[in-house]
């Protein structure tokens, strides 16, 4: 009985959210209990949510209130309330700083390079791995390609450094054969490809999971029917496999576009000294360095760096990201796909 | 036809064996046999991909077990072909210097942090698992909003500072203790797979705590294992939070920060000369730092295969329903 009512409720919320079939809802209308009764009934459940809520409020919502400092000339001794209010001065300062525009441009360029060079790789790999028949070999391959996802960027960059850096395997080899060395790790010109290569090395294998699952969900009888009708390997791929992947590809694109402004913060920060700020600064690192906190990464406090200034750049990026996510989601809806919030 | 392909090789009647070769018995009958060059191309692409991942790991691990002589003969870089193995690098880093301290800190925050995160997340996911319960949607929305918008680095830093956590190890745990995505994955699993069992247990009069502990946790072991691994890996790789909150307290540096200092910034390892095992003369900076990197790789490489078969399940309940 209880099971049925829960499912019923689940189904009705589902319907309400989708905005369809409201008229067709069958059965007696579920009676909504008095909130006091529901509170007493569910107080244990609420209690269980409490620890997570406290942590979220402390470390996510309090900082949101702290955004005020972006509009202030924040002084740590005067505090949030008594610091001088300066309106949009911090934003104005950022928008007239060439360093800020360089960081903005880098963010967009790196995001674009990653989108073009990174995005197709997991899909192609998934198509390849999917054709392997033996489940043992398949899971062995997956065990290996998943690994780098769990390495932190410090480890990933260390490995790149040991292979491609000044004293790395590649340059030792080049020198041995009398070819002048090329230190890829400190070359600002190719930096955007370097960080993309690192991202591919770390995450492309992990990206397989989603696409493999989508491939497994395609009805096998479609392939069988097509094969019986004389469709070859490539035509089956074009007319069955690729349309079957469409939904998940759009979802992944939306996620990627939404996160476009957050290209590898740690990754850039770690390599900032090696390649220089003009190549490695993205919005996130710029905000951090010019808050005066990031002294260890070749940052400077002399160019008007302050908590308020850093926070202002952070707010700028946050708002822009939100706009990006929402519009990417809109595009997904236009394509007739679910996009992000179906939850 | 499909029944034959689904039957295990061992149980197929002898008469069926005559029709097709044993190695074909998983390929659907309607699918044409791939050409040899197709097979070869596919095999080599996959082999190259796996080598691109395995060779760097191999190089790091082998160098960490090499003596100074073989590292020098490799031009001071990585050793890819073994000769002159020794445990010297490990003896040095374990003899109580910066790395031992960092290892201790990293293990501590990983164990304590993962425990806290899991307790908090499982409780919250269960608390949100019934869509008809009181205030379920507002609480859920409160969590989800933080996935799309946050205060940014500086305001978060100031809050942590105001809470007097700056310079304490709690600063590496508490601000990142709750991951909303992980809670959504757990919740999706609790509402989906376990919901009927939960209802049955509640009808039998079990309290919520009892249901959670005796029904939900045992039936959701796979997804709990996956989420535990996600949290543990995040704590294990803690880097930026340590830079942000522990920069004035070097004894609280986790492994990732030590690796950053010694391999990427090129700081000489302190305590190399003071240790009794031979000191600076016998050790190579590359060897020592690769030993540190290996320490940080080992738990991941050892644990991933055990959890691997659950990844898809754990991720997909989240992706599809989350």
Q: Where are the domains of chain A?
A: 31-87, 97-334
DSSP string, A58-98: IIIIHHHHGGGGGGEE--TTTHHHHSEE-TTHHHHHHHT-H
Contact call for A343 and B321, based on CB within 8 A? yes
Residues 55-114 of chain B with CB under 8 A from chain A are: 56-57, 59-60, 63, 74-78, 80
User: What is the pLDDT, as a whole number, of residue B314?
Assistant: 61
**A65 confidence band (pLDDT: 50, 70, 90):** confident
CATH of span A97-334: 1.10.3720.10
* Residue A147 C-alpha, separation from nearest chain B C-alpha, in angstroms: 7
Alpha carbon distance B140, B142 (integer Å): 5
Among A50, A149, A154, A267, most B C-beta atoms within 10 A, so best to mutate, is: A154
- What distance lies between CA A150 and its chain's CA centroid? 15
User: What is the pLDDT, as a whole number, of residue A263?
Assistant: 81
Phi then psi for residue A252, to 5 deg, are -65, -40
With beta carbons less than 8 A apart as the criterion, state whether B105 and B252 touch.
yes
A75 pLDDT higher than 70? yes
- What does DSSP assign to residue B268? P
* Residue B260 C-alpha, separation from nearest chain A C-alpha, in angstroms: 6
Residues 219-238 of chain A with CB under 8 A from chain B are: 220, 223-224, 227-228, 232-233
Identify which of A232, A231, A235 has the alpha carbon closest to the alpha carbon of residue A243.
A235
* Residue A109 C-alpha, separation from nearest chain B C-alpha, in angstroms: 22
User: What is the pLDDT, as a whole number, of residue A62?
Assistant: 92
Alpha carbon distance A24, B292 (integer Å): 64
User: What is the pLDDT, as a whole number, of residue B19?
Assistant: 47
Alpha carbon distance B127, B216 (integer Å): 12
A337 pLDDT higher than 80? no
User: What is the pLDDT, as a whole number, of residue A89?
Assistant: 84
User: What is the pLDDT, as a whole number, of residue A13?
Assistant: 44
- What distance lies between CA B92 and its chain's CA centroid? 27
Residue A213 in tokens: 């699952």
- What does DSSP assign to residue A291? T
Alpha carbon distance A11, A25 (integer Å): 9
**A52 interaction partners in chain B (CB closer than 8 Å):** 120-121, 123-124, 143, 178, 183
CB contacts < 8 A (A, B): 309
User: What is the pLDDT, as a whole number, of residue A5?
Assistant: 37
Contact call for B28 and A224, based on CB within 8 A? yes
* Neighbouring residues of B274: CB distance < 8 A, sequence distance ≥ 6: B97
> How far is CA B305 from each of CA A138, A206, B308, B322, rounded to the nearest angstrom?
13, 14, 5, 25
Q: In DSSP terms, which residues pair with B66 in a beta bridge?
A: B85
Of B120, B178, B312, the CB nearest to A213: B312
Alpha carbon distance A10, B192 (integer Å): 11
A9 pLDDT higher than 50? no
User: What is the pLDDT, as a whole number, of residue B50?
Assistant: 93
A36 by Cβ neighbours in 10 Å (0-12 / 13-18 / 19+) ranks as exposed
**B48 interaction partners in chain A (CB closer than 8 Å):** none
With beta carbons less than 8 A apart as the criterion, state whether A234 and B38 touch.
no
3-state secondary structure of B66: strand
pLDDT lower than 70: segments of chain B:
1-26, 76, 193-194, 266-283, 313-322
User: What is the pLDDT, as a whole number, of residue B264?
Assistant: 77
* Residue A178 C-alpha, separation from nearest chain B C-alpha, in angstroms: 14
User: What is the pLDDT, as a whole number, of residue B227?
Assistant: 92
User: What is the pLDDT, as a whole number, of residue B7?
Assistant: 39
Alpha carbon distance A223, A229 (integer Å): 10
Of B178, B196, B315, the CB nearest to A56: B178
Q: Where are the domains of chain B?
A: 91-321
**Gyration radius from chain B CA atoms:** 26
Longest dimension (CA), chain B: 78
With beta carbons less than 8 A apart as the criterion, state whether B264 and A161 touch.
yes
Identify which of A136, A134, A154, A138 has the alpha carbon closest to the alpha carbon of residue A146.
A138
User: What is the pLDDT, as a whole number, of residue B52?
Assistant: 94
**Gyration radius from chain A CA atoms:** 26
CATH of span B91-321: 1.10.3720.10
Of A45, A59, A210, the CB nearest to B130: A45
**B120 interaction partners in chain A (CB closer than 8 Å):** 51-52, 55
Q: How long a stretch of residues is chain A?
A: 343
3-state secondary structure of A102: helix
Contact call for A143 and B308, based on CB within 8 A? yes
CA dihedral A208, A211, A214, A220 (to 10 degrees): -80
Closest residue of chain A to B297, computed from CA coordinates = A151
With beta carbons less than 8 A apart as the criterion, state whether A183 and A163 touch.
no
Average pLDDT, chain A: 81
**A213: Cα within 13 Å, side-chain hemisphere:** 19
Q: Is B184 on the interface with A (CB under 8 A)?
A: yes
With beta carbons less than 8 A apart as the criterion, state whether A69 and B155 touch.
yes
Tell me: ipTM over 0.90. no
Tens-place pLDDT, residues A230-263: 888 888 989 999 998 888 888 888 878 878 888 8
% of chain A at pLDDT higher than 70: 85
User: What is the pLDDT, as a whole number, of residue B94?
Assistant: 85
* Residue A174 C-alpha, separation from nearest chain B C-alpha, in angstroms: 11
Contact call for A142 and B139, based on CB within 8 A? no
A342 pLDDT higher than 60? no
Residues 81-120 of chain A with CB under 8 A from chain B are: none
More reliable by pLDDT, A175 or B170: B170
**A169 confidence band (pLDDT: 50, 70, 90):** confident
CA dihedral B7, B8, B9, B10 (to 10 degrees): -110
More reliable by pLDDT, A55 or A87: A55
Per mean pLDDT, which range of A294-298, A339-343, B148-152, B283-287 is the poorest? A339-343
Residues 246-305 of chain B with CB under 8 A from chain A are: 247, 256-257, 259-260, 263-265, 286, 289-290, 293, 296-297, 300-301, 304-305
Residue A207 in tokens: 């990206």
User: What is the pLDDT, as a whole number, of residue B270?
Assistant: 57
User: What is the pLDDT, as a whole number, of residue B122?
Assistant: 95
b/e burial code for range A126-151 (CB count within 10 A of at least 16 → b): bbbbbebeeeeeeeebbbbbbbbbbb
Contact call for B131 and A62, based on CB within 8 A? no
A54 pLDDT higher than 50? yes
* Neighbouring residues of A263: CB distance < 8 A, sequence distance ≥ 6: A107, A110, A111, A114, A195, A282
The full 3-state SS of A163-227, as one line of letters, equals HHCCCCHHHHHHHHCCCCCCCHHHCHHHHHHHHHHHHHHHHHHHHHHHHHHHHHCCCHHHHHHHH
The dihedral sign for the CA sequence A248, A254, A258, A260: positive
Tens-place pLDDT, residues A15-40: 444 444 344 444 445 556 778 888 88
């Amino acid at each position: 009985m209880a099971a049925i009512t829960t499912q019923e409720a689940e189904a009705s919320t589902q319907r309400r959210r989708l905005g369809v079939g409201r008229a067709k809802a069958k059965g007696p209308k579920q009676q909504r209990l008095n909130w006091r009764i529901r509170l007493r009934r569910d107080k244990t459940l609420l209690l269980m949510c409490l620890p997570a809520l406290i942590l979220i409020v402390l470390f996510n919502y309090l900082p949101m209130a702290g955004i005020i400092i972006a509009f202030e000339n924040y002084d740590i001794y005067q505090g949030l309330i008594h610091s001088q209010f300066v309106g949009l001065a911090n934003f104005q300062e950022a928008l007239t700083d060439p360093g800020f525009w360089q960081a903005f441009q880098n963010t967009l360029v790196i995001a674009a390079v990653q989108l073009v060079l990174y995005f197709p790789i997991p899909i192609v790999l998934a198509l390849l791995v999917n054709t392997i028949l033996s489940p043992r070999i398949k899971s062995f391959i997956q065990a290996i390609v998943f690994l780098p996802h769990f390495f932190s960027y410090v480890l990933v960059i260390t490995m790149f450094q040991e292979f491609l850096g000044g004293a790395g395997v590649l340059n030792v080899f080049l020198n041995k054969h009398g070819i002048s060395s090329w230190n890829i790790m400190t070359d600002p010109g190719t930096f955007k490809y370097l960080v993309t290569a690192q991202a591919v090395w770390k995450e492309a294998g992990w990206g397989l999971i989603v696409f493999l699952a989508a491939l497994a969900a395609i009805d096998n009888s479609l392939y069988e029917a097509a094969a019986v009708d004389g469709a070859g390997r490539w035509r089956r791929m074009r007319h069955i496999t690729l349309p079957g992947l469409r939904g998940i590809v759009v979802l992944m694109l939306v996620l990627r576009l939404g996160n476009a402004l957050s290209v590898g913060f740690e990754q850039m920060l770690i390599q900032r000294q090696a390649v220089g700020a003009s190549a490695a600064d993205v919005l996130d690192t710029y905000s951090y360095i010019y808050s005066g906190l990031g002294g260890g990464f070749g940052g400077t406090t002399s160019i008007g760096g302050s908590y308020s200034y850093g926070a202002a750049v952070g707010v700028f990026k946050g708002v822009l990201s939100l706009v990006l996510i929402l519009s990417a989601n809109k595009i997904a809806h236009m394509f007739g796909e679910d996009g992000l919030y179906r939850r | 036809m499909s029944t034959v392909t689904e039957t295990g090789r061992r149980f197929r009647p002898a008469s069926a064996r005559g029709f097709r070769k044993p190695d074909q018995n998983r390929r659907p009958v309607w699918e044409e046999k791939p050409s040899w060059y197709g097979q070869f191309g596919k095999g080599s692409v996959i082999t190259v991909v796996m080598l691109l991942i395995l060779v760097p790991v191999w190089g790091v691990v082998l160098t960490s077990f090499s003596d100074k002589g073989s590292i020098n003969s490799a031009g001071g870089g990585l050793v890819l072909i073994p000769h002159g193995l020794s445990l010297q690098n490990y003896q040095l880093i374990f003899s109580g210097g910066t790395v031992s301290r960092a290892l201790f800190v990293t293990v501590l925050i990983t164990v304590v942090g993962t425990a806290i995160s899991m307790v908090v997340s499982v409780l919250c996911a269960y608390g949100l698992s019934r869509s008809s319960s009181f205030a379920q949607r507002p609480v859920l929305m409160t969590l989800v909003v933080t996935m799309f918008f946050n205060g940014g680095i500086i305001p978060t830093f100031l809050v942590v500072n105001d809470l007097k956590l700056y310079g304490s190890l709690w600063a590496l745990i508490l601000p990142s203790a709750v991951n909303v995505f992980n809670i959504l994955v757990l919740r999706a699993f609790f509402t989906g797979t376990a919901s009927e069992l939960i209802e049955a247990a509640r009808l039998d009069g079990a309290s919520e705590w009892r249901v959670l502990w005796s029904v939900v946790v045992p039936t959701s072991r796979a997804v709990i294992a996956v989420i535990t691994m996600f949290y543990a890996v995040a704590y294990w790789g803690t880097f930026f939070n340590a830079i942000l909150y522990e920069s004035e307290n070097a004894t609280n540096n986790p492994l990732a920060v030590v690796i950053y200092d010694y391999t990427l910034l090129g700081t000489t390892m302190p305590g190399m000369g003071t240790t009794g095992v031979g000191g600076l003369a016998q050790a190579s900076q590359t060897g020592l730092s690769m030993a540190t990197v290996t320490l940080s790789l080992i738990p991941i490489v050892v644990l991933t295969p055990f959890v691997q078969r659950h990844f898809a399940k754990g991720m997909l309940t989240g992706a599809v329903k989350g």
